[in-house]
Amino acid sequence: MGKFCKFLILVVLVLLFLVSCNETLQTFVRFQNNSASKTVYAIWDGAITATLLPGQITEYREVKEGGHTLQWRNAADKKDLTTIGWPSLVAGEIYTFGYND
């Protein structure tokens, strides 16, 4: 009986360790418009994620780690301001992506 209890305790400890090791780290991004005159769209993975007035910054939002696309577009005439970038995010990190004239 004593060996069975020790074995059972060992199994429980191993399971607890494996569960704690598999916790996902959260990754966050926010967008910032550093332009003095332009209102811009932040286009994240092909979708308009934010409309930013000059000097405005968004709140952080949780995203998945890995590869993404980011593009900035002028809100006034809908023309591209940057070519598409491909940031690769690391799990557990916090990022701020800014548009600069």
pTM, entire model = 0.75
Domain 25-99 homologous superfamily, CATH: von Hippel-Lindau disease tumour suppressor,  beta domain (2.60.40.780)
The span from the CA of 71 to the CA of 88, in Å, is: 14
Task: Give the torsion sign (CA, 70, 72, 73, 79).
Answer: negative
The domain ranges of the chain are 25-99
| Half-sphere CA count of 21, side-chain side, radius 13 A | 6
pLDDT (tens, 9 = 90+) of the chain, 101 residues, equals: 577 767 767 676 676 665 555 567 899 999 999 999 999 999 999 999 999 999 999 999 999 999 999 999 999 999 999 999 999 999 999 999 999 99
Contact call for residues 51 and 75 (beta carbons, < 8 A): yes
Token pair for residue 97? 């992506």
The span from the CA of 34 to the CA of 15, in Å, is: 48
